A and B are shown apart, each in its own frame.
Chain A
């Protein structure tokens, strides 16, 4: 008989992870929606973001806030540089070239990070207490709750930005139809750059929060692998879909780890999310909240 407490624990644990997955997935979707570029290296960006924060904290000796701020500045700079120098010249080439370039950059980042950040701590020290909180009989790590709460706040801020601000409106227009966006006076390239700036910020935030929640920066590149099941499930075109799907995948993985891993051996959670991806492509390829591009002519 399944233990309800255990079940609840798994769900909560999964949801907490899901909040952070959502940040990484959003970094992916924001770029994709605006420019149709598929950023295969989103996991590597997150890894570099977290290492940048750790490096800033260590070398500059400033507190957590300062380290995050400095890392954001550096990552925004890196992202804008990447967009301007690598992506923009390829703008008129095929989309495939753009995609391959992001894969190449991911490989480069993985290698370069080992060299550039050599000797520096892998992760920034968590400011949260180590002892878990007991909530109605369940031990929940404070790290995880705090990280998830911050992630949720960031998601809310992003949603407000996209739906409530002029720039957000412009970004949505660019994502919807580039020709129309130009016709209303929107500068496409400036807005593409903006989306990459967001990637820079989100990579620092998601990377750092992940290192808090997972008790170590290890496996952070694997976050990138989780993005694909999430965005396919939620619909590549839908921001709310991405957020919901991130929680679904998080909870699913947690349940699988809790119930199936003892049966089939560890690590099945990764397989499970990819099985969901395959199932979604077979049943509802546009994702549950995505829409095929059918418009009234």
Chain B
């Protein structure tokens, strides 16, 4: 599916004309997202890689509890959006606001210290350090080091496989174990917002199911989750709200259950029809 050039196709459904950055048609996002306070507000974000316009006026809201899914094809700009929020790439225009505080322009480490934790595609492991050291590193971002031992316990409770491998080098773990370690490390920072970029990528189906069992568990314990996934079905099944990104714009948005049932989503992303 599409690259980043050329005009986006108008959304297949909807009576209202599409405007860049605003969700269209009858799947419009209701204000305030069902009464949950907003944790993160992205407004009209524009990001370019040189001349390539990766995001063209994206707006979305992440409430302070629950899972928000971001789906779309390769090249739609999903990873770019996460990188723009975490500060790895700088937005040309627009705003990312965390409980009212502007994040655009802040260096990466300061955004991480505000407990907005990004687990990138490829996981970002320190291969030559042990599992335990990688986990401890995650805890460095937590400003108040209340009880690192308890945090470690929680991480091991969540991922028992990591406990038995705690003195192994991270580089020697399998793909699935590395993903668990990446999430475990992110959780060590006690994040307010956990951003996961394609956690199921390259994993066997059994592990994918395991990951999608754990993500709602984390959300249930109070961490807001922004989930980018190519596996649209699993993402929509566990999320409360979802956005569909296409060539750098939000083309559909709404409750995940509605999107799951929508025929155009089914056609484009769920392999039906």
- B129:A185 contact, CB within 8 angstroms: no
Report A-chain residues with C-beta under 8 Å of the C-beta of B112: 182-185
Does B141 sit within 8 A of A, measured CB to CB? yes
Give complex CA distance A44, B125 in Å.
37
- B140:A186 contact, CB within 8 angstroms: yes
- B138:A184 contact, CB within 8 angstroms: yes
- B137:A169 contact, CB within 8 angstroms: yes
- A184:B171 contact, CB within 8 angstroms: no
- A182:B107 contact, CB within 8 angstroms: yes
Does A166 sit within 8 A of B, measured CB to CB? yes
Q: Which residue of B lies closest to A185 (CB)?
A: B141
Q: A172-B129, A176-B126, A179-B124 are in contact. Are A185 and B171 (CB under 8 A)?
A: no
- B138:A296 contact, CB within 8 angstroms: no
Q: A183-B112, A184-B112, A185-B109 are in contact. Are A173 and B128 (CB under 8 A)?
A: no
Question: Which residue from A166, A173, A183, A296 sits with its C-beta under 8 Å from B108?
Answer: A183
Q: A169-B133, A295-B171, A296-B171 are in contact. Are A185 and B126 (CB under 8 A)?
A: no
Report A-chain residues with C-beta under 8 Å of the C-beta of B122: 297
CB distance from B226 to the nearest CB of A (A): 15
Interfacial residues of chain B within 108-148, with CB under 8 A of chain A in the complex? 108-110, 112-113, 117-118, 120, 122, 124-129, 133, 136-138, 140-141
CB distance from A63 to the nearest CB of B (A): 38
Give complex CA distance A176, B110 in Å.
20
Does A243 sit within 8 A of B, measured CB to CB? no
Q: Which residue of A lies closest to B136 (CB)?
A: A169
Does B22 sit within 8 A of A, measured CB to CB? no
Give complex CA distance A23, B127 in Å.
28
Q: Which residue of A lies closest to B143 (CB)?
A: A185
Which of B110, B137, B189 is packed against the most chain A CB atoms within 10 Å? B137
Does B86 sit within 8 A of A, measured CB to CB? yes
Query: What's the tally of chain A residues with a CB closer than 8 Å to chain B?
Result: 21
Does A24 sit within 8 A of B, measured CB to CB? no
Does B192 sit within 8 A of A, measured CB to CB? no
CB distance from A91 to the nearest CB of B (A): 13
Give the dominant DSSP class at A's interface: helix
Does B46 sit within 8 A of A, measured CB to CB? no
Question: Which residue from A176, A184, A291, A295 sits with its C-beta under 8 Å from B140?
Answer: A184
Q: A186-B140, A188-B109 are in contact. Are A176 and B124 (CB under 8 A)?
A: no
Interfacial residues of chain A within 184-203, with CB under 8 A of chain B in the complex? 184-188
Give complex CA distance A186, B109 in Å.
6
Please encode chain A, from 147 to 189, with 1 for each CB lying within 8 Å of some chain B CB and 0 for all others: 0000000000000000000100110110011011111111110
Question: Which residue from B118, B127, B133 sits with its C-beta under 8 Å from A295?
Answer: B127
Please encode chain B, from 149 to 176, with 1 for each CB lying within 8 Å of some chain A CB and 0 for all others: 0000000000000000000000110000
Give complex CA distance A177, B124 in Å.
9
Q: A173-B129, A177-B126, A184-B112 are in contact. Are A166 and B140 (CB under 8 A)?
A: yes
Which of A166, A170, A185, A297 is packed against the most chain B CB atoms within 10 Å? A185
Q: Which residue of B lies closest to A177 (CB)?
A: B126
CB distance from B214 to the nearest CB of A (A): 20
- A187:B127 contact, CB within 8 angstroms: no
Give complex CA distance A188, B113 in Å.
13
Does B241 sit within 8 A of A, measured CB to CB? no
Does B78 sit within 8 A of A, measured CB to CB? no
Report B-chain residues with C-beta under 8 Å of the C-beta of A176: 126-129
Report B-chain residues with C-beta under 8 Å of the C-beta of A188: 109
Interfacial residues of chain A within 203-249, with CB under 8 A of chain B in the complex? none
Q: A166-B140, A295-B171 are in contact. Are A184 and B129 (CB under 8 A)?
A: no
Give complex CA distance A181, B109 in Å.
8
Report A-chain residues with C-beta under 8 Å of the C-beta of B249: none
CB distance from B182 to the nearest CB of A (A): 10
Q: Which residue of B lies closest to A291 (CB)?
A: B128
Give complex CA distance A164, B133 in Å.
10
Report B-chain residues with C-beta under 8 Å of the C-beta of A185: 109-110, 112-113, 140-141, 189
- A296:B127 contact, CB within 8 angstroms: yes
| B-binding residues in A (CB < 8 A) | 166, 169-170, 172-173, 176-177, 179-188, 291, 295-297
| A-binding residues in B (CB < 8 A) | 86, 88, 107-110, 112-113, 117-118, 120, 122, 124-129, 133, 136-138, 140-141, 171-172, 178, 185, 189
- Could you show 12 A-B contacts with beta carbons less than 8 Å apart? A166-B140, A173-B129, A176-B128, A179-B88, A182-B109, A183-B118, A184-B141, A184-B185, A185-B112, A188-B109, A291-B128, A296-B127
